[in-house]
Amino acid sequence: MSRTLKESVIAVIYGGRSAEREVSLQSGPLVAEGLRSKGYQVIELDLYGPGKNLDPVVQLQSIDFDFAFIALHGGEGEDGRVQALLEMLDKPYSGSSPLACGLAMDKVLTKRFWRGIGIPTPAYLSFVGQADADVIETKMAYPVIVKPSREGSTIGINKAVNRLELDEALLKALEYDSDILVEEFVDGPEFTITVIDDVAYPAIGLKPAPDHKLYDYEAKYVADDTEYLLPCGLNSDDENELQMLALDAYRSLGCSGWGRVDIMRDQAGVFWVLEVNTAPGMTTHSLVPMAAKYVGIDYASLVENIAKNAWDQVGRH
């Protein structure tokens, strides 16, 4: 590219129409503010915001920009559709390719792939439409985790310890997706690992308050009593193993630029990969800025690094 990123106009795209819209409405303005503080020209686009045309192509074509920072979470902002539109418009953007985003967003497809190549991930059953609770009880032992296959931010996720809770969890998951994932419960601590420019950052240990059965949406974005452990509490060898596993899982899906990998450890000390997030939250409660801050990178520098890495990658190709 002949121009530098500083000479270009960055569109921060946020909002969207997924169940994570409210989170994205927090992330987007913060990203825009961080980039502006570094001297960049920024336009904000609240995709599907009030009074906006419902055609995303029209919305993207309504503004003049050179690069897109994607601060959308879930839905078409994280499943590759917006990324594909940007490629059709010949606009470079932050984060992974459409194919990598789509694969990572679909938990069932991701787990099938990981099981095939040897990435450790909890045992599961998948269903299209109404799940058969009798089949689940025959093949899996309680407790189990029930998730919509294509949602993020632990939206629609529930733990079930008996048939009544299982039936309720299956109905709840169907509110968000027709494809349902029922997963073996891993009894142990949860960790999340930020990856930026193919580098794994220090792991964060997640410890929800006792009244939260899971590190769920409320624990992530609402509660102030969730504990974030940095350092994560592992010894150096175990944390290195955790980081390498996160990188393997991230790279295996073809992810690039930045993302976050969620992993649990069972009572025997075995790590199990849950999912990869290709457009993680960037709110005041979010984990990527927390990991960056721990290694001395402030919020504005973090979003600048993500944008510059993406811009430079396009320039190199």
- Check: CB of residue 123 under 8 Å from CB of residue 154: no
What are phi and psi for residue 9, nearest 5 degrees? -105, 125
The active-site residue out of 96, 252, 256, 286 is 286
Residue 126 is among the residues annotated as catalytic for this protein: no
Residue 44 is among the residues annotated as catalytic for this protein: no
Residues with Cβ < 8 Å from 3, sequence gap 6 or more?
66
The active-site residue out of 18, 96, 153, 252 is 153
Which amino acid, one-letter code, is at 54?
L
- Written as six digits, the tokens of 50 are 């009030």
Residue 158 known to bind ligand: no
- Written as six digits, the tokens of 141 are 């032992």
Residue 275 known to bind ligand: yes
Residue 256 is among the residues annotated as catalytic for this protein: no
- Written as six digits, the tokens of 238 are 């175990």
Q: Report the alpha-carbon distance of residue 53 to residue 221 in Å, rounded.
A: 29
Q: Report the alpha-carbon distance of residue 176 to residue 100 in Å, rounded.
A: 22
Cis amide prior to 143 (ω within 30 degrees): yes
Which positions make up the binding site? 262, 275, 277
Binding-site entries for Mg(2+):
262, 275, 277
Residues belonging to the active site:
20, 153, 286
